[in-house]
Amino acid sequence: MENLKTNKIFISGDEAVAHGVRLSRPHVIAAYPITPQTITVERLSEMVENGELDSDYMHVESEHSALSAAMGASSVGARTFTATSSQGLLYMVEAMHYASGGRYPIVMMNANRSVALPWSIYGDQRDSLSQLDSGWIQVYVEDAQEALDMMIQAYKIAEHAKVLTPMMVNLDGFILTHTYEMVEIPDQAMVDKFLPVFETPNKMCFENPKNMAFSSQPDDNTEFKYQQNQAMFDAIEVIEQTEKEFGELFGRNYQSMVEEINCDDADAVLVTLGSITGTVRVVMEQLRARGLKVGILKIRYMRPFPEKEIMALSHKIKAIGVIDKDISFGYEGTIFTNVNSALAKSNASIFKKNFIGGLGGRDITKAEIEKMYHDLLAGITSNNQKTVEFFNLKVETND
Partner 1 sequence: MERPVKKDFKRPTHINDYPVGPQYEAGHLAETNASWRSVRPVVDNDKCINCLICYMVCPDGTIMKTDGKISVDYDYCKGCGVCAHECPKDAIAMVKEEL
Task: Write out the residues near partner 1 by the rule CB under 8 A.
Answer: 75, 101-104, 164, 201-202, 208-216, 220, 223-224, 226-228, 230
Nearer to partner 1, 19 or 103 (CB): 103
Q: Is the peptide bond before 33 cis (omega within 30 degrees of 0)?
A: no
Instruction: State how far the Cα of 102 lies from the Cα of 121, in Å rounded to an integer.
Output: 32
Nearer to partner 1, 218 or 330 (CB): 218
Let me know: does 111 contact 42? Beta carbons within 8 Å: no
Nearer to partner 1, 47 or 157 (CB): 157
CA 77 from centre of chain: 24
**Measured from the CB of residue 25, what is the shortest distance to partner 1 in angstroms?**
24
**Measured from the CB of residue 221, what is the shortest distance to partner 1 in angstroms?**
10
Q: 3-state class of 252 per DSSP? A: coil
Instruction: State how far the Cα of 49 lies from the Cα of 38, in Å rounded to an integer.
Output: 16
Let me know: does 70 contact 81? Beta carbons within 8 Å: yes
**Measured from the CB of residue 293, what is the shortest distance to partner 1 in angstroms?**
46
Nearer to partner 1, 78 or 319 (CB): 78
Nearer to partner 1, 158 or 258 (CB): 158
**Measured from the CB of residue 68, what is the shortest distance to partner 1 in angstroms?**
16
**Measured from the CB of residue 100, what is the shortest distance to partner 1 in angstroms?**
9
**Measured from the CB of residue 103, what is the shortest distance to partner 1 in angstroms?**
3
**Measured from the CB of residue 94, what is the shortest distance to partner 1 in angstroms?**
16
Nearer to partner 1, 189 or 197 (CB): 197
Instruction: State how far the Cα of 272 lies from the Cα of 300, in Å rounded to an integer.
Output: 9
What are the contacts of 112-115 at 24+ separation with CB within 8 A? 112/85, 112/86, 112/140, 112/170, 112/171, 112/172, 112/173, 112/274, 112/325, 113/35, 113/36, 113/85, 113/86, 113/173, 114/86, 114/173, 114/359, 114/360, 114/361, 115/86, 115/87, 115/90
Q: 3-state class of 267 per DSSP? A: coil
How far is CA 110 from each of CA 57, 87, 265, rounded to the nearest angstrom? 18, 11, 35
Nearer to partner 1, 31 or 164 (CB): 164
Q: Are strands 294-299 and 301-303 parallel, antiparallel or unpaired?
A: unpaired
